[in-house]
Amino acid sequence: MLVVEKSIISDDIADVKFCCDLKKCKGYCCVEGDSGAPLEEEEISVLEDVIDEVIPFMTEKGIKTIKKTGVFDYDAEGNYVTPLNNGLECAFTYFEDGIAKCAIEKAFNNNCFKNYPGAENFNKPISCYLYPVRITSNNGYDAINYHRWNICKPALKKGKATNTPLYVFLKKPLIKKYGEKWYNTLVEQIEKKINSK
């Protein structure tokens, strides 16, 4: 276990080798699961602001869901999550060459959010950007854990082949969430731990 500021980080973040292989997994983390992707309260506000820019990249099914539920829903514990289409894929999912992709990210990459203050860096919900890491907040501390899922077996295989540790694969989203100083401290701690073995 590692501790950086107010974050408690599982050793898996340093030890697991991981690199997404979309051609193999088909982006099914957007399709499978018990609920939608976790959303932060601020992300809901941003989504409500930019939804008209996202809709052109969504499926008819997804648009219908959003019109019915709005841009968020609740999971079994009452937490904010993205809505699901008939309990299946995320409402913001669209498919390209059989691969599940994100309409929010597509709108962002097409520079559709440039006129929306606060949305300039919103490429997708941070929980999606950080996956397969899941964050649980309690008493002002974040527990950062690796979420094991059979869907990600190809990512483990590719991560091993490319020797990519999870914290390296997730460098950009971790910096987006916690900042560069936090990330550099994490790397220092991991390297110290490796060198002491």
Q: Which residues contact 6 (CB under 8 A, 6 or more apart)?
A: 140, 141, 142
Q: How far is CA 56 from CA 60, 104, 107, in A?
A: 10, 10, 8
Please name the residue that has the structure tokens 């409500």. Answer: 48
Per-residue model confidence as pLDDT tens digits over 99-113: 999 999 999 999 999
pTM across the whole model: 0.91
Query: In angstroms, rounded to a whole number, what is the distance separating the alpha carbons of residues 93 and 13?
Result: 27
Separation of alpha carbons 189 and 175, rounded Å: 16
Residues 190, 14 contacting (CB under 8 angstroms): yes
Mean residue pLDDT of the chain comes to 94
Predicted confidence (pLDDT) per residue in 24-62, tens digit? 999 988 988 788 999 999 999 999 999 999 999 999 999
